[in-house]
């Protein structure tokens, strides 16, 4: 059964270590499809989505690419080989192959704030020596043994932002009400949720960190992988870790899920497009989509999850408008090769806009309840509408890890250019 559902404006009714199998070189026509499809930069006319997002591929280019994939990917083994190729390309293009040495996380925990059915605790850890990932941990008031976990990256809010906007704005990164609300709701359902700042967002901007830097994509993917390490280190079930985010957070969701098999369920929101790859250096700044003998798009990157649970959330007003007709059927075909087409779903909202709004969150809650064994009755009312009553939207400064009483450690890396990826060689 095709599990693509469109919703109107009314309330919604709605898989331990990094797995990187050996790279297997496939037929050159599948790897590149270059004999049939022109290079991205050969597209002359600039086309945009209804919301102004620039399409990197033309409609014809994208559909022809999907047709070539369908013709060459005929068995689960075919897709496994293709997915391995895509993973290797992402890691090589970002300088993450082989993976860097992992340092101690050295987490810093703030005080716990208890609310109605959940608690919040600000956290920072080191993804590399002195490179801090800052965020907030949302947990049930009573946490059982080995609870499910959710990784929650955020997008470029304000839209088009570079992380330098006023931090007290209601429209900024992980501090947005919709981000706080979904994290709290998932915690009340029984998951531990880590909401964290993108590179060059949040408090680190006061030290000199910037989002628009040539290696942002590399560090952002690495931070996401280390965030999984962090969740497991505090007791999360390593076999039940989901990832979800909207817009640029959606990009991070499918990038992390593609290269780290510890993500057991992926929910990218308003970002999976067959011809739009993003508009920021963290999405386009490194050649993960194309090299001399290779070409892919975000649909394939997202499908690297197969056959684990995947929910595509899309709308009719941005670059995901064709998801029910194009992106979802393509991914459903790949899942079907494994006999697992029921593991991929699409919640489409034709009249809604780019974001992680109420109805999209409702689709998330139902999906996570099913695949992470969470209690949907806490987040959803009997009539199918979401229940987010009692969730407190905290002030931005309350979500800061560091303050006058808990300052940045002396060895903190103060800007992007000081990052040392070869730190371990100094002790050799």
C-alpha to C-alpha distance for 392 and 401, rounded to whole angstroms: 18
| Closest alpha carbon to 66 in 315, 313, 303 | 303
Per-residue pLDDT reduced to its tens digit, 206-263: 999 999 999 999 999 999 999 999 999 999 999 999 999 999 999 999 999 999 999 9
The rounded distance, in Å, linking the Cα atoms of 382 and 160 is: 38
Q: What is the pLDDT of residue 428?
A: 59
Residue of 116, 254, 262, 141 lying closest to 191 (CA atoms): 141
What pLDDT is attached to residue 32? Answer: 33
Please name every residue paired with 145 in a beta bridge, in sequence order, or none if there are none. Answer: none
Measured CA to CA, the distance from residue 414 to residue 341 in angstroms comes to 46
Handedness of CA 284, 285, 291, 292 (dihedral sign): positive
Q: Read off the pTM.
A: 0.90
Is there a contact between 210 and 180 (Cβ–Cβ < 8 Å)?
no
Structural domains of the chain ordered from first start: 1-428 (3.40.50.1820)
Backbone angles phi, psi at 89, to 5 degrees: -60, -45
Q: Could you say which residues of the chain have pLDDT below 50?
A: 1-2, 9-43
> 225, 223, 276: which is closest to 247 by C-alpha?
276
CB-count exposure of residue 270 (10 Å: 0-12, 13-18, 19+): buried
Distance CA 172, CA 164 (A): 10
Whether the upstream peptide bond of residue 158 has omega within 30° of 0, thus cis, is: yes
Cα–Cα dist 415/428, whole Å: 25
Both structure tokens of 144: 């059982």
Tell me how crowded residue 383 is: count the other CB atoms within 10 A of its CB: 7
């Amino acid at each position: 059964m095709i599990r693509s559902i469109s919703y109107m404006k009314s309330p919604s009714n709605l898989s331990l270590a990094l797995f990187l199998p050996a790279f297997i070189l496939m037929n050159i026509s599948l790897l590149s499809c270059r004999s049939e499809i022109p290079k991205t930069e050969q597209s002359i006319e600039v086309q945009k989505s209804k919301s102004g997002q620039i399409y990197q591929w033309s409609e014809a280019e994208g559909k022809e690419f999907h047709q070539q994939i369908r013709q060459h990917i005929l068995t689960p083994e075919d897709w496994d080989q293709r997915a391995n190729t895509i993973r290797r390309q992402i890691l090589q293009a970002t300088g993450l192959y082989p993976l860097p040495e992992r340092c101690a996380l050295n987490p810093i925990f703030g005080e716990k704030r208890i609310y109605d059915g959940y608690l919040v605790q600000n956290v920072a850890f080191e993804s590399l020596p002195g490179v801090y990932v800052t965020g907030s941990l949302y947990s049930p008031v009573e946490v059982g043994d080995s609870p499910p976990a959710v990784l929650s990256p955020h997008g470029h809010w304000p839209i088009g932002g570079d992380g330098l906007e006023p931090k007290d704005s209601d429209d900024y990164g992980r501090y947005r009400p919709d981000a706080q609300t979904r994290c709290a709701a998932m915690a009340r359902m029984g998951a531990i949720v880590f909401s964290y700042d993108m590179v060059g967002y949040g408090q680190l901007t006061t030290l000199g960190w910037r989002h628009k830097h040539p290696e942002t994509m590399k560090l952002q993917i690495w931070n996401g992988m280390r965030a999984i390490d962090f969740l497991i280190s505090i007791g999360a079930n390593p076999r039940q870790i989901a990832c979800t985010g909207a817009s640029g957070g959606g990009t991070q969701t499918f990038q992390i899920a593609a290269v780290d098999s510890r993500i057991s369920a992926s929910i990218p929101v308003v970002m999976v497009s067959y011809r739009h790859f993003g508009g920021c250096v963290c999405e386009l700044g490194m050649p993960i989509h194309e090299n001399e003998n290779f070409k892919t798009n975000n649909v394939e990157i997202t499908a690297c999850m197969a056959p684990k649970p995947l929910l595509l959330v899309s709308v009719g007003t941005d670059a995901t408008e064709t998801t029910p007709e194009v992106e979802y059927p393509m991914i459903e075909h790949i899942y079907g090769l494994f006999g697992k087409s029921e593991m991929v779903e699409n919640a489409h909202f034709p009249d809604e806009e780019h974001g992680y709004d109420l109805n999209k969150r409702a689709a998330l809650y139902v999906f996570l309840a099913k695949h992470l064994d969470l209690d949907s009755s806490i987040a959803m009312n009997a009539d199918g509408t979401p229940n987010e009553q009692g969730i407190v939207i905290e002030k931005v400064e309350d979500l800061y890890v560091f303050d006058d009483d808990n300052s940045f450690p002396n060895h903190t890396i103060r800007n992007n250019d000081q990052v040392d990826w070869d730190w371990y060689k100094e002790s050799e």
